[in-house]
Amino acid sequence: MIKFGTNVDLSDPKKWYQQLQEIAKLPAFCRLVSGSNMLSHVGHTILGMNTLQLYMKVPGSRTPGMGKE
């Protein structure tokens, strides 16, 4: 059982079919590949930027944003 997973790659459509189908329902500007997503036009793979990744955690945990100190 995974209690914490970070940067889980979701690029295998056979393994992650249902999740990718749900993501495809998002508006075009939120989709991984679309004409309005500028990262679709880069021409090479940037892991986590123009590839789909997932963070998995137990309920109640959070990933805070980095702030200035």
List pLDDT tens digits, range 18-67.
988 988 898 877 777 777 767 777 888 777 777 888 777 788 877 777 66
Q: Which residues contact 58 (CB under 8 A, 6 or more apart)?
A: 3, 4
R_g over Cα of the chain? 14
Q: DSSP of 16-63, one letter per residue?
A: SHHHHHHHTTS-GGGSSS-TT-GGGGSSS--TTTTS-EEEEE-TT---
**Residue scoring higher pLDDT (52 or 2):** 52
Q: Is the pLDDT of residue 69 over 70?
A: no
Report how far residue 50's alpha carbon sits from residue 40's, in angstroms, rounded to the nearest whole number: 7
pTM of the model: 0.58
